[in-house]
Amino acid sequence: MDEKSWAPVAVAHEKVAAMEKKIADLKKKKPKPVDLDKQVVSIQKEMAAIKKNTPHYNVPMVSGVEEAALYVTKKDKGHGTKLDYRMGESRNLKIQQRGNPNTTGEEAPRIFLTAFPQKGKSKPRSLQNGSGQLELARAMVGNGVSQATESVNKN
């Protein structure tokens, strides 16, 4: 769903969440309001109307991940650093000497965890596409990972 279509759904979700909190707060209130049930029913009707009148309110949603590279660069003016996100990009990082992003050492390649060696090889393979999350997932359910997942699958 694009952002233009999602915007009214997000607003409706925020309104409903606020109303649910209001109901919870009313129920916690001491002493309880005399017309508590009436107030709760009124708020619930309003929530139902929002849900009914908002297109795509009940569309199932999933969380997603988008590839992005983070660059820590020197500020244009003065001392310090700034963060630069570049969407759709991935990269190997340079080792930061003493944790300082302004003094970097050699590049550390992205590789599979050593706990998941490639069959018949002692060194882990390098990641070629994006962050490697998809490659790792495919290897774990496919033929790419050796003993680690095989022993888990047997047990």
pLDDT digit string (tens) for 83-92? 998 998 888 8
The whole-number pLDDT of residue 150 equals: 53
Between residues 49 and 143, which one has the greater pLDDT? Answer: 49
Q: Does residue 129 carry a pLDDT above 60?
A: yes
Q: Name the range with the highest mean pLDDT among 17-31, 72-86, 106-120.
A: 17-31
- Domain range summary for the chain, segments of one domain joined by +: 3-53, 63-108, 109-155
For residues 44 and 123, what is the distance between their CA atoms, to the nearest angstrom?
59
Q: Where are the beta strands (DSSP E) in the chain?
A: 68-74, 81-87, 93-96, 104-108
The whole-number pLDDT of residue 154 equals: 54
Kindly report, residue by residue over 19-72, the tens digit of the pLDDT: 999 999 999 999 988 999 999 999 999 999 999 999 999 988 888 778 888 887
Q: Name the range with the highest mean pLDDT among 3-17, 91-105, 137-151.
A: 3-17
Q: Is the Cα dihedral 104, 108, 109, 111 positive or negative?
A: negative
pLDDT tier at 15, thresholds 50, 70, 90: very high
Are the CB atoms for 113 and 106 separated by under 8 Å?
no
